[in-house]
Chains A and B, each alone.
Chain A
Amino acid sequence: MSASRDDFGIAIRSALLKKGARQKFSLFFLIVISTLIFFLDSIKFTAIDITRSFLRDGIYRASSIASSPIRFAKYSGDKIKIHFSIYNENKILKEELDRLKNKDLDFEFLSSKNRNLQKLIETDAEIVEETVLAKVLLDKDSPFLKSIIINKGKNSQIQKGMPVVDGNYLVGKTVEVNYLSSRVLLLNDLNSRIPVTLEPDATQAILVGNAERNPVLEYLPEFFEAEEGKTVFTSGKDGIFPAGIPVGKIFLEENVAKVKLFSDPNQISFLNIVLTNTNEVESF
């Protein structure tokens, strides 16, 4: 038994400390360094923050270059797929066109919706801010984390917590800002929580990311029955997002109210960062 314990000790010691012919560092040394970096990462210290920011900028750029052949292959594959599916698409589009032609537009509903939207825009008059156009550098898929890297950072006056839109539709907010790049937390990320309002009766709810394509509506009023097709806007109650940014349409899946986002998080190439004042956000 003691011989077995000795063998175990020798094996562990050998695995940890043996460097081998081509190894420059022992595993033990590197494990200690990794643990140290892991703890240093959580410390808010200017020198560490600057180093971290420059390291991230460099790696993001290198990653963007390294990913370009893959992106090109994906793009070519998509183009070929689109080319082959064009016949079916045409058939579907014709059917949809017929359906739309036959649809009787409810003018009253539309005008009521318009009135409500006008109200939202009026309350929002002072939040019409300048935006910065940014390109998506990286969009790495992960089972839980849904975020993208954009090519604008502190050099373009971007700050942590700024809302990010694709056209007129909300995409997420900035959660990490480096000098030349930033990370945008998408609405379907597990950590995303956005206060929203449902038109036309201005019901308040929280849009919760679930790491899937369509986020869920939570904290709805008691006995509230969600109706499919209602439009969801940001409510601006948190003081982070301006009110009235369209987010998506409600649909029901197994009696759970989900939101089909207007902007598909997997198809974003360019987006705008709304340069809001985030001082309140930081304190929030």
Chain B
Amino acid sequence: MTNPPADLVISDLHKSFGDHPVLRGVDLVVPGGTFAAVVGQSGSGKTTLLRILAGFERPDRGSVAIGGETLDDGRVHLRAEQRWIGYVSQEGSLFPHLTVDANVGFGLARRERRGPRVGELLEMVGLQGLGGRYPHQLSGGQQQRVALARALSVRPRLILLDEPFAALDATLRASVREDVQAILQAAGTTAILVTHDQDEALSVADLVAVMREGRIAQVDAPQLLYASPVDVDLGGFIGEANVMTGVVHGDRVDTPLGSLEVRGGVAAADGQEMTVLVRPEQVWVFPYEDGPGVAGTVVHTGFHGHDSIIGITVDSVGLPDPITSRVLGALALSAGAAVRISVRGPVNAWPSSATRPQVASLPGTDE
């Protein structure tokens, strides 16, 4: 009965609603046992992708297969009840008329419903003893755990999480998120989390797919995605970024922040204009007026406990926006202070003409 983790293979998936294309050729492979996240702005098509995987919608074109079994292609379309894919929605969607026990046991055979399985599942999500309660007697976080236990009850080949933490308040969100991550890891189930929150995607997933305009723009491990985005828009979406223009000079690029090392080397001729992305934590700030680095002036500071954000204008060149720097802990600097800044580590750079091949997002799109 236990399903070994099976690879999910999505290829060339298309879906339109009316004459409005939502998915425009999605290709994605999620290896069995992986916790993947699909992240994108609203309207990028991520929810539609999830609904197709669950069997709620039928794709116009393309195929979906798990472990070699086709769920969708031109001829085959398995309905939701034939797929054995778990689904946890934003608000849990528990059956309000059933107890927690009956919710978790809904997908089980009648005999199994009375056995130890329901209790085991509740214990797995840390809710033992609450089986007799009704959903409205639970907190939002508890409801999501019940929804997860219910989804896992049928030993799904894949579990889909549709923004399951978005309805929780901020303090609860982090702890429920970690719990869900641990539970899924323990269960060894392949999972796909859909979210618009890139922090969430980076922090919980083994594999992050960024969706943009109905396509997967990049799939990588979180660290790699953050370090090597395919273009500057994606880099700015996945994390905070200082974006500026530079010029290739040998194997480095000259920018208002100095001559910077480019990750993976420069694949352009001298003099080529480049769009350069510098992460705030790469910008080091020194509280001296003179010294190495570029002269700047602090325009604003923000203290966040574990780190501080400092906005700095560069004195020599007119950059449209202040450079953002993130430093650990507190820094005794206030607006107006003269500082020196220098960039540590390699940065990302793309030839300027190729940095914006597409519009950032389609207006008026709805998932």
Query: Is chain B a partner of chain A in the same complex?
Result: no
A residues within 8 Å of B by Cβ?
none
